[in-house]
Structures are given as C-alpha cells and as structure tokens.
C-alpha cells in the first residue's frame, strides 16, 4: 500500500489532487480527488464555498493508480 490507498480515518487527508478554483460570479470551488480503498473506488468531491453545495462522484477501480495495488486481491 502507498500513502494514497491505505485506509485513513479522514479520506481528505491524502488526496491524489486538490485545487481551489475561482469561477468568478460562481464563487470558489474546491476539488478533491482521492482513493477510497475500503469501498474500492476513486472519488471526486466538489465543494462550492459561496453556497456550501457539495457534489460527489464515485467510480469503482481495481488497482491503485499510484502504486498498482490490486484492491480485489485475496488476503490470507
């Protein structure tokens, strides 16, 4: 396991990507992309600072994009 795909108490602790964008009249938007190894998903979380709206997108993934660990590997 690497720092990105090990299980964390806070999923936002080690994101693959974090950026804050200013959309002008739309306000500031924070974007996090992170790996949820427990659910075997890669996720994107968007937060609009001006109105507090959040959006989340989840997509299943078999391997960690950083270290290549197989999330479906049988542990003995």
The pLDDT tens digits for 20-71 are 998 888 789 999 999 888 888 899 999 998 888 999 999 998 888 888 888 8
Report whether pLDDT(8) > 80: no
| Alpha-carbon gap, residue 66 to 51, rounded angstroms | 33
pLDDT band, residue 76 (cuts 50/70/90): low
Sign for the CA dihedral angle at 27, 28, 33, 36 comes to negative
Written in H, E and C, the secondary structure of 38-69 is CCCEEEEEEEECCCCCEEEEEEECCECCCCCC
Burial (CB < 10 A; 0-12, 13-18, 19+), residue 5, is buried
């Amino acid at each position: 396991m690497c720092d990105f795909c090990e299980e964390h108490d806070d999923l936002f602790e080690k994101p693959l990507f974090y950026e804050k964008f200013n959309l002008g009249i739309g306000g500031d938007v924070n974007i996090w992309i992170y790996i949820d190894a427990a659910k075997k998903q890669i996720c994107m979380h968007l937060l609009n600072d001006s109105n507090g709206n959040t959006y989340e997108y989840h997509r299943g993934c078999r391997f960690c994009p950083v270290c290549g660990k197989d999330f479906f590997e049988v542990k003995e």
